[in-house]
Chains A and B, each alone.
Chain A
């Protein structure tokens, strides 16, 4: 949790033209924004460009930040998320995957969810720290729809509260929870398929 008073003072200094204050903001949030961008966009190059764009946008719109409406981290994440989604739409990288409900109906030979989920391949606790596994999870994450992907990234990677995620995504908390559950299950389904193909 960030110190609201300190952040407000920092923003105030920054708006007053203090370059050191702006640098402090950049240092505070660049790692978070880069990670969100990387997990959402998929590549380091895109993540770097997007992170820069996010901060350029922040620099121009910092006046619009209202301390009373929420934490700076939520505002920063909102700016980043909006830019990521805009970028996604602009590039027309439609990597929408089959939703949890439509998957069995979309493929005649696809397994039902009840058949797929028990066979998850290697246990997540066993050897998940290897680079290969990390890459597989990252690739599976790219196969999720943007709605599910952003929800699980914000919850499981950025560890935001449901309330904050709802604020960022501008959807009800119930929708956030539903997307998170579906996103997790979808990811597990992709990974089980991947490991079944490998084995």
Chain B
């Protein structure tokens, strides 16, 4: 019986394929592909390649719609659409993607393609085809239930077609393992009277070349939390009093919505 060799740490470390977490910031980033900038510097810092991955599946997990899951993607989509890199395909979105809001976010509508497959099989098929074809730069889908094998197929297709796949999934699936490249848990940020901008709490559950992160907050550049001060008086102090016939006033610009200066 051969004598047991003493454990040689240095030798082990020299083996090819050995990756040390402490080396993450030296060189690992360099070998990563440059991602698509997210438009949020806090998020960019957390992602390898400083942006959304250019290929692979990204999962966004959340409970309630309307917390800013598309506003989070909007800067990157605007960037991709202006580069004319290909279609941005929306596969059976739960509601109508609203063109005026997309334009306001800087997205070029001529690169948008929406499809509404009749069933889940067709939408997964369509997503795989779109990801594998090099003609889509981003594919957005809202699968109702999808298992890890299906995600893996999509991941492979996305790698071969070099297009970004984004799955909007329910928060319950955060506990399931998933082969997706990047998984982010999104939580809506409750309204606070102190800030005008809406914000979104996010926690990276899985990413390349890094551990899961703690919760951090990104701020949207909007004024959705800004309160119209005279609002409460008008509609709620006295609900029986008829509402005065007002046009909407944007206080920042002292113009009404038709572009005329306020008297």
Q: Do A and B bind?
A: no
